[in-house]
Each structure stands twice: as structure tokens, then as C-alpha cells.
Amino acid sequence: MASFRLAHLFLTAALVLTACQTLGGSVHMVHKTGSTAEQRRNAIDACQVSALEKVPPSYKIRSFGGYYGGFGPGFCSGPGCYGYGGYAYPRQITSYDPNDALRAREFNRCLSRKGYTVIFRPVCTSEQDALAYKSTRRQAPSGQIACVSGEPRIESRWLRTR
């Protein structure tokens, strides 16, 4: 349970960091030398739709906890009953999609078939670097990309492959 909460905390932190693609940090991005931002955005959309069609969501519900105990002897008097002591752990219910990892792998296979790869790069830390990156119409080879700015985002759920 602790590892589940820790994983949830890291996932939330990753989403916050990728949602705020300002100066600094790092992001996963789609790369194909010579492609435009619009082409990369279209490839992401097409592959997400394809992955959702091939591996549809199948939400499951998981519950745990809900233990009540430790109530001592009690007594009833008139309309009410009273007990001594006791503690309660409320039931926790979460939903999850067991197909997430398979869908992410299908998304990555689709991008690969289109000639794209997912790479990890830092977000530009200076406004000058950010403007220089945005001014290039076509994407440079991955080895020449020092930092990025304004790239189409890929949500973390499309990157989880396990």
C-alpha cells in the first residue's frame, strides 16, 4: 500500500512537471529528423487513437481496508447502544486500467512504424535558447538537440510500458 501511494505521488509530480512546460525541467518528446511540430502532433494523435482502438480501456475497481475492530463490551439502554474503545480503518476504493501498459506499448509501436522515437530532453532554461529551438521549422537530429521548448506533450500514461 505504501508503494502504491509512493507511485501515485511520483505520477502526480510527473504530471505537474510535464503540464508546466515552462523554463527548466525535462520532457519526453517525439523525434523524427526533419519533421515539423505539426507532423509530430499529428503522429501522436493518430497513434493514441490507434492504440485506444486496438487496446480499449478496461477499468477495474480495487478495494482494500475497511477494518473495524477493538470494540469492547457495550450495553444497550433504551433506544441506543453504546460501546467502549474501538477504531476504524475506512475502506479505500480505487480504479485502474490493467490495459495501460499494453496500450502504451502499442502507442510506441505505432510511432516506430511511422519512423518516430520517444526521447527525453531538458526544457530550455533561458528564453534565448527556447526561442532558438522554436524558430527551427524542421527537427534536427536527436544528438544536436540540447534543449526543447513548445514540443507536443506526451502524457505519462502513454509512456508506462510495464
What percentage of residues in the chain have a pLDDT greater than 70? 71
> How many domains is the chain built from?
2
Query: Mean pLDDT across the chain, nearest whole number?
Result: 81
Same domain? 144 vs 131: yes
Same domain? 51 vs 128: yes
For residue range 94-108, what is the model confidence (pLDDT) as tens digits? Answer: 898 999 999 999 999
Same domain? 111 vs 162: yes
pLDDT: which is higher, 6 or 41: 41
Weakest mean pLDDT among 2-16, 65-79, 121-135: 2-16
Count the alpha carbons within 13 Å of 81 in the hemisphere toward its beta carbon.
Answer: 7
Q: Answer yes or no: is 4 within a domain.
A: no
Same domain? 34 vs 80: no
Same domain? 149 vs 130: yes
Q: Determine contact, residues 111/29, Cβ cutoff 8 Å.
A: no
Look up residue 60 and give its three cell numbers.
Answer: 477495474
Q: Provide the domain limits for residue 68.
A: 60-96
Q: Determine contact, residues 139/30, Cβ cutoff 8 Å.
A: no
Measured distance CA(91)–CA(1) in Å, rounded:
13
Same domain? 133 vs 110: yes
